[in-house]
Amino acid sequence: MTRMSLSTTSENGRTTPDGGQPQGRFDIAPYLKPGARIAPVHATARGALFADDCLNVLPRLVDSCVDTVFADPPFNLGKEYGARTDDLLSDDAYLAWCRRWLDECVRVLKPGGSIFVYNLPRWNILLGSHLTELGLTFRHWIAVEMSASLPIAGRLHPSHYSLLYYSKGKPSTFRRIRTPVQTCRHCGGEVKDYGGHRRALHPNGITLKDVWTDIPPVRHRKFKSGQRKANALSTKILDRVIEMSTVPGDLVLDPFGGSGTTFRVCEDRHRHWIGVEIDYAPQIVERLETNEIHPHRNEDAVED
Ligand SMILES: C[S@@+](CC[C@H](N)C(=O)[O-])C[C@H]1O[C@@H](n2cnc3c(N)ncnc32)[C@H](O)[C@@H]1O
């Protein structure tokens, strides 16, 4: 059992309990189809980043090569991204675009691999249906509580993002994560009595639920890129996705790199990675090179 405490410098650093930093640069060649004329803009010992449109990169990857896909695309809300991203399409055009990259993600996923898609519930209900039509197995609809959201007239107050979790057949890796028993921030006392079964609980806490209410916002400048203001997810989400569905040495694909959260966590958790980002690749490179952006504190425990 490993405790995921990523808050200290040594655990955030490059020291690796599983044998140290691999030698040389990650070799992307075995993952590219013959004649694919694309090259990463940056490579570390564990991964490679393409500064490109994912619809240009994904079709050039070989079939069944990736253990886990994590995708956090633009939500089609007309948000300001970089110069090459159009985030205000018609509903049909947005869904058609999503189906194109999803099809490719599923093709490159190994049998037994997992795919996670982070989006608004209104889109994920339809994207989940597409994944089901592609023959994938539904695992979970994870509700990730929004830290700040505004009420909308005539609707319920939206308060969660959806994280879809599907697998390609029976998952080859599913590791149980436990979260600490919740305590009161003020008095330190335990918040729940677990219906009188508190003493029967596992010492490492309770099995991770499909409702995540403990994801901190990425606000403080310690946790986000100074150059890029928005759209970074908490490292805690990626810790969970990666620890749940992969083991060290596995390969993770993220077609919408953003600020590079997935790649930073892969580096820290000793996974290989392939990333794509259309507009912000330089900021990702900076994050990977400087290691200045801190991970969120995470007291989950993962069973080996
Ligand atoms: C919601 S953000 C991802 C944030 C990321 N998960 C993180 O934690 O930093 C979506 C990203 O996708 C990028 N993007 C949009 N369209 C893209 C495309 N066709 N190919 C690759 N990246 C794209 C945007 O520039 C943006 O940075």
CB 6 near ligand 1, within 6 Å: no
pLDDT at 179: 94
CB 72 near ligand 1, within 6 Å: yes
CATH superfamily assigned to domain 2-149+162-177+212-302: Vaccinia Virus protein VP39 (3.40.50.150)
CA of 279 to the centre of ligand 1 (A): 8
Indicate if the alpha-carbon torsion angle 23, 295, 252, 94 is positive or negative. negative
pLDDT at 223: 56
CB 278 near ligand 1, within 6 Å: yes
Contact yes or no for 90/96 (Cβ under 8 A): no
pLDDT at 7: 34
CB 100 near ligand 1, within 6 Å: no
Which residue is closest in CA terms to ligand 1's atom 5?
258
Question: How would DSSP label each residue in 133-180?
Answer: HTTPEEEEEEEEE-SS----TTS----EEEEEEEESSS-S----EEEP
Which residue is closest in CA terms to ligand 1's atom 24?
258
Per-residue pLDDT reduced to its tens digit, 37-49: 999 999 999 999 9
CA of 259 to the centre of ligand 1 (A): 8
CA of 52 to the centre of ligand 1 (A): 11
- The Cα 116–Cα 254 span in angstroms is 10
Q: pTM score, two decimals?
A: 0.90
pLDDT at 10: 30
* Residue 2 neighbours by CB under 8 Å, 6+ apart: 301, 302, 304
- The Cα 81–Cα 72 span in angstroms is 13
Q: What is the mean pLDDT of each run of 10 residues along the chain (304 residues)?
A: 45 40 90 97 98 98 98 87 70 96 98 98 98 98 89 91 98 96 75 72 90 86 58 94 98 97 97 97 94 85 89
